[in-house]
């Protein structure tokens, strides 16, 4: 599989994850299964942010969490989930932001 280019778009990332999953044999996993993995990764990201901001940590795991690594895992799993739903995330993001921009924020 070709590596990601430096200026890959969100669509490129989505396509990359589909290929990555096929290559690693994860493409047979269900949307529900990958959604659970996404939740796990969000928890790991929360733990990494907690460690970064001085929250008490399990001493056995202290120092092992990296916010960048966990954020990357979250993005990978998010794209794995949306790929199973036939969603173009860039299009969905633009559509949602267009609606968000009509809201009043306090």
CB of 73 to Mg ion, least distance (A): 4
Give the tokens for residue 23. Answer: 């290559």
Rounded to an integer, what distance in angstroms lies between the CA atom of residue 19 and that of residue 10? 14
For residue 65, count other CB atoms closer than 10 A to its CB: 18
- Closest to Mg ion by CB, 67 vs 90, is 67
For residue 5, count other CB atoms closer than 10 A to its CB: 9
**Of 44, 76, 78, 80, the one binding Mg ion by CB under 5 A:** 44
- Closest to Mg ion by CB, 44 vs 82, is 44
CB of 86 to Mg ion, least distance (A): 26
Instruction: Annotate each residue in 55-94 with x if it binds Mg ion (CB under 5 A) or - if it does not, as one string.
Output: ---------------x--x---------------------
Residue 82 CB contacts under 8 Å (≥ 6 apart), including other chains:
14, 89, 92
Q: Are 32 and 85 in contact (CB under 8 A)?
A: no
Residue 21 within binding range of Mg ion, rule CB under 5 A? no
- Closest to Mg ion by CB, 63 vs 86, is 63
Residues at the contact surface with Mg ion, assessed by CB under 5 A: 41, 44, 70, 73
């Amino acid at each position: 599989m070709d590596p990601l280019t430096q200026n890959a778009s969100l669509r490129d990332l989505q396509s990359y994850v589909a290929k990555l999953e096929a290559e690693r044999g994860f493409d047979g996993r269900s949307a529900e299964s990958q959604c659970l993995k996404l939740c796990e990764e969000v928890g790991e990201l929360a733990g990494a942010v907690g460690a970064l901001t001085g929250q008490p940590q399990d001493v056995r795991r202290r120092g092992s969490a990296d916010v960048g690594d966990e954020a990357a895992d979250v993005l990978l799993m998010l794209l794995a989930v949306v790929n199973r739903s036939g969603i173009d995330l860039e299009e969905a993001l633009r559509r949602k932001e267009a609606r968000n921009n009509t809201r009043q924020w306090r």
